[in-house]
A and B are shown apart, each in its own frame.
Chain A
């Protein structure tokens, strides 16, 4: 049987002090979703420099770096702030994935009594994965 749950109006952010774990999970999922879709458009825009780069040459060596695509990507990767933003992007993506799996379980009615615990587990696991990946993302910058 379908169940309903009156969570109140989460959109009224002024109520944040009253938010339960599930409401925080809902809010973080929306926020990370907005960041990810924004990033997808930005990512394709940046990678689109491949079009003029490919049009300008019919042949390229694996390590060549004189084209606009390579220079744009390597130029961005040379900025420390971009490296930190990449770590932030990883954090956002990992949380969205873990909480998404949690939401799927909730939708399927699996582990409903552990909803709060699985949200906290998503946060902790996100933090652990992000911290472990920091050396890779900042390699050559510090």
Chain B
């Protein structure tokens, strides 16, 4: 049973990265929500509009960093939640392997779709 306040070993790299990605995600998630729900309404999203945004280099880089940090933060969070729950040994190794594969698959798929949007020529 854990007797510390946090799910993490304070001072570990995972602890630090979880917090650094959290700080980045707060800002980018707010931007993402505002842009796609309050500036452009989600119901009005089109392939042309998404491609137009993704062809801005700054937007593309921000969205890719958003994907990678969210994937790390989420998957690392799940790993820590399960570790906190008490998994150990082989069980822990198997969970770690599955989560690493799932994270890589998500990051690759997200990158593919972002790059696909940069390939379409957008006309007014």
Contact = CB atoms under 8 A, between A and B. Distances in A.
Same complex for A and B? Answer yes
A34 B93 CA distance: 20
A55 B51 CA distance: 13
B123 A36 contact: no
Contacts of A110: none
A94 to B, nearest CB: 9
B86 interface: yes
Interface residues of A, number: 55
Interface string A67-93: 101100110011000000010001001
Given A77-B43, A136-B38, A54 B106 contact: no
Interface string A9-25: 10100000000000000
Interface residues of B, number: 50
B32 to A, nearest CB: 10
Contacts of B86: 11
B86 to A, nearest CB: 7
B120 A41 contact: no
A114 interface: no
A131 interface: no
